[in-house]
């Protein structure tokens, strides 16, 4: 990572191993330009759109952070894991800061937009929302989004994925996963001006790349640590190979729908 990195404490609760973070950086999906356009459009309905600063909280290795650079003048990525930040995407507009979502070193009223991609469920909600209101400018935007399993166009493949999720990985998910299952509709957002929408994200991906993505799931890592002799993902890859009659999982591509559930809020302080 060549972008600027500031450290404010050593926090590494979730992603403590650099190898794991490197895999995360390689295999977690990027986000579509359509999603970021929705965020900017919502923000520009009320707020000033000049010299915009975006803060991507729990940025990980920068999948969402890098997507903000086209529409914002300055982007700050914040994450508690130094290993994640060491694998983050570089850009001259991006500054990375090692800090917690609930306690950042940013100044009051310093951010136009705060984003959280696939991470809100790990936060202490009350503390995070208080911190967000503090750092956002008046009429600033909080944009939170998540994705669930995604959907194979092939029904047999989708059934196999659901079985992996609900049976093979049963008991290995954090209880906070329920927030993702409900697409954050079970979160009490303390903002009066709020809009919810779904941004479609069609995806074409090789079977091997999809398996590599699944390997970044916390539940898969928990399963593998507790069952080192089992071959859960290898078996699932074989199942997909059979369903699609794929000769080579490295090159055979499958089509998916990956809806992003986007929650947009305006700072009403």
**Which pLDDT value is given to residue 185?**
96
8 Å CB contact between 180 and 146 = yes
Is the pLDDT at 13 greater than 90? The verdict is: no
Q: The pTM is what? A: 0.88
4-266: which CATH number, 3.40.470.10, 3.30.420.40, 3.40.50.150, 3.40.5.50? 3.40.50.150
φ/ψ (deg, to 5) at 19: -60, -40
pLDDT higher at 134 or 7: 134
| Average confidence (pLDDT) over 161-179 | 95
What are residue 84's DSSP bridge partners?
Answer: none
For 50, other C-beta atoms within 10 Å of its C-beta total 7
8 Å CB contact between 135 and 104 = yes
8 Å CB contact between 240 and 259 = no
**Which pLDDT value is given to residue 65?**
97
| Average confidence (pLDDT) over 108-122 | 97
């Amino acid at each position: 990572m060549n972008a600027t990195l500031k450290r404010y404490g050593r926090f590494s609760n979730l992603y403590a191993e650099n190898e794991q973070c490197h895999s995360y950086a390689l295999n977690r999906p990027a986000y579509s330009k359509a999603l970021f356009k929705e965020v900017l459009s919502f923000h520009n309905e009320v707020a000033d759109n000049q010299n915009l600063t975006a803060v991507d909280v729990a940025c990980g290795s920068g999948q969402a952070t890098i997507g903000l650079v086209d529409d914002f003048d300055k982007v700050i990525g914040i994450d508690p894991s130094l290993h994640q930040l060491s694998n983050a995407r570089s850009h001259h507009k991006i500054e990375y800061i090692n800090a917690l979502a609930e306690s950042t070193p940013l100044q009051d009223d310093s951010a136009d937009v705060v984003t959280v991609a696939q991470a809100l469920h790990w936060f202490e909600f009350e503390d995070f929302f208080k911190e967000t209101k503090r750092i956002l400018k008046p009429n600033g935007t909080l944009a939170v989004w998540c994705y669930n399993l995604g959907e194979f166009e092939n029904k047999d493949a989708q059934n196999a994925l659901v079985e992996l999720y609900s049976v093979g990985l049963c008991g290995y998910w954090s209880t906070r996963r329920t927030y993702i299952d409900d697409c954050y509709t079970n979160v009490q957002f303390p903002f009066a001006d709020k809009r919810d929408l779904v941004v479609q994200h069609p995806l074409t991906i090789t079977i091997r790349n999809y398996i590599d993505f699944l390997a970044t799931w916390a539940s898969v890592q928990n399963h593998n640590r507790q069952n080192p002799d089992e071959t859960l993902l290898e078996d699932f890859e074989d199942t997909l190979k059979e369903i699609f009659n794929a000769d080579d999982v490295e090159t055979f591509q499958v089509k998916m729908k990956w809806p992003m559930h986007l929650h947009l809020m305006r700072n009403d302080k």
